[in-house]
Amino acid sequence: MKDRDPIVFALRELVDALDRREAHLERLGEARIARESVALRLEAMTRIQDLSAAPCDRDTREAERSASVMADDGGPIGNNQEPINVATARRALKA
């Protein structure tokens, strides 16, 4: 699956690079670098999940527009609802 979001793509590249890195604990400061790498990887994975789960701006705008669709007679239609026929509604109220 190819991501279109450049931020998610960059974060996945970062995670891949961190996964490829080998710790050389005999070197000075390497233990700290390894700990910080693990923390950075966790932070990146959390951000990827947040960005992947959030709807994009276009999806949000389309959802807002679809909530205000009008029927052929000019009356509003709610999400996934049929237009209300005024005459039918009046008859139902009288019955």
Q: Do residues 14 and 47 touch, judged by C-beta distance below 8 A? A: no
CA count, 13 A, side-chain hemisphere, 12: 13
Q: What rounded mean pLDDT belongs to the chain?
A: 77
Look up the pTM and report it.
Answer: 0.53
Give the pLDDT confidence of 55-74 residue by residue, as tens digits.
666 666 666 666 555 555 65
Q: What does the pLDDT read at residue 86?
A: 65
Q: Do residues 55 and 64 touch, judged by C-beta distance below 8 A? A: no
